[in-house]
Amino acid sequence: MKWRHRLAVFVLCLLSSSSMVIQAADWPGYGGPNRDGTCPETGLKATWPKSGPPLAWTFEKTGTGYGGPAVVAGTVYILGTEGKTETAFALSPEGKLLWKAPIGPMFDFDSNAWSGGPNSTPAVAEGKVVALGSQGILVCLDAKDGKEIWKIDLPSAMAAEVNPVGGGPDKMGWGYSWSPIIEEGQVIITPGGQGGLVAALDLATGKVNWRSTAVKSAATYSTAAIGTIAGQKQIVALTQEGPVGVSFKDGSLLWAFKKEAPYPDVVCPTPILSGDFVYLSVGYGAGAERLSIKASGSAQAAESVWSEKEIANNNGGVILSAGKVYGYHLTRGWQCQDLETGKKVWESKRGALGAGSLLIADGKIFAVAEEKGEVGLIQAKADKYTELAKFKLPKESALRKPRGKVWTHPVLSDGKLYVRDQDLLFCFTVK
């Protein structure tokens, strides 16, 4: 029997060397292991000292950008800039540079006082890293050494467009800010434009498998969501006019929900999919809405269940946990909203943690306040707003533009909390 055991070990070694196994503690792309902002880890600290949890390391050379890290098997993948070149970086579990790879020139314009550099989180799977630069260059890199496997310039190759509402050049706006998704050997992207809002690429080659030609909307800054609704696996993406659902199989349009008036400004948060419902939150005067998606012949139909002004979220994201949605309403505070009714359950009071982004793990909200660079720990419970701890990041980036803030979403992987302020990537031990 010994030879059988040795053969099994040999096969396992071959498999581990040729592909990347995603583990439970990983955060392999935007939104984490479930792409919904939640993390299954438990045993996390229930509070922190005033100085914050232990700082494991700081990496100070990611340059400018708001993109968050992806973490697989302890290796951290993140986008930033080196000089005026948008760059992908890979860091060891100890925060040391393993490799870096150029993506393309940094997108910027004269009146831009908010951002510069990539705003996307890379997706990591099957030994590959797929990364999007803010100028629309999509690259696939070898996760081991950063060598380029394929590259696509979306504006030139696919006539891709970003809706410029809220500022920025025509067809570019503030630059490409959604994050790619790897699912079933495909890369799901939202290039936007007359050729179709959503597309699926072959992960190995970058070849276009399909494009949603029936949806000719420009891209927003929102990352799409994937799930099965009313029996159909689909991709739900936000346009300026409202959400759409397209088939995961071929990109055909399943349903569209056109709002009475387009969203008034930039559209950033990712839709939440729950059962046969879609939850939307958009800021700058829009609000939150719950849609019901039902089969309608060979297609589907969407109708509004409720629409409320609660959690009009600008860019920090919203997360569903145990039937409640948590997020920040920029003109009010942190809020908990009931998914079933849309009614507000609780709201933070004056003096609480400021507006920001979040993730949820172990019954707690890990939040990063965009204005002061504070990190807060909040109970993810429906009874009331309870702040368990709060601390300020140990250092502030000198590279932020005059009106830029700490907009990168936090990431949690294997008991480590990652928080970014431009060139500074902090890694804290929270377990």
pLDDT confidence of residue 21: 58
Query: In the numeric block, which tokens belong to residue 427?
Result: 């890694």
How many secondary structure helices (H) and strands (E) does the chain include?
Answer: 2, 33
Number of domains in the chain: 2
Task: Determine contact, residues 25/32, Cβ cutoff 8 Å.
Answer: no
pLDDT grade, residue 215 (50/70/90)?
A: very high
In a domain, 366, yes or no: yes
In a domain, 162, yes or no: yes
What element of type H or E holds 7? helix 2-18
Task: Determine contact, residues 222/233, Cβ cutoff 8 Å.
Answer: no
Task: Determine contact, residues 20/125, Cβ cutoff 8 Å.
Answer: yes
Instruction: For residues 57 and 80, state if they share a domain.
Output: no
Task: Determine contact, residues 28/180, Cβ cutoff 8 Å.
Answer: no
pLDDT confidence of residue 196: 98
pLDDT confidence of residue 8: 39
In a domain, 310, yes or no: no
Give the end of a domain, one of 208, 235, 253. Answer: 208
Q: What is the mean pLDDT of residues 361-385?
A: 97
Instruction: For residues 121 and 167, state if they share a domain.
Output: yes
The per-residue pLDDT for range 145-172, each reduced to its tens digit, is: 999 999 999 999 999 999 999 999 999 9
Report the CATH number that the domain containing residue 339 is assigned in CATH.
2.40.128.630
Q: What is the mean pLDDT of residues 221-227?
A: 98
Strand order in the sheet with 318-321: 318-321, 324-329, 333-338, 344-347
What is the rounded average pLDDT for all residues in the chain?
Answer: 94
Task: Determine contact, residues 426/137, Cβ cutoff 8 Å.
Answer: no
Give the end of a domain, one of 208, 235, 250. Answer: 208
In a domain, 29, yes or no: no
Q: What is the mean pLDDT of residues 12-37?
A: 72
pLDDT confidence of residue 15: 35
Instruction: For residues 118 and 55, state if they share a domain.
Output: no
Instruction: For residues 79 and 178, state if they share a domain.
Output: yes
Statement: residue 124 has pLDDT above 50:
yes
Backbone angle region of 9, left / alpha / beta, with phi > 0 → left and psi within -120 to 50 → alpha: alpha
Q: What is the mean pLDDT of residues 203-210?
A: 98
In a domain, 10, yes or no: no
Instruction: For residues 57 and 159, state if they share a domain.
Output: no
Supply the range of the domain harboring residue 95: 66-191+198-208
Instruction: For residues 327 and 391, state if they share a domain.
Output: yes
Q: What is the mean pLDDT of residues 220-248?
A: 97
In a domain, 295, yes or no: no
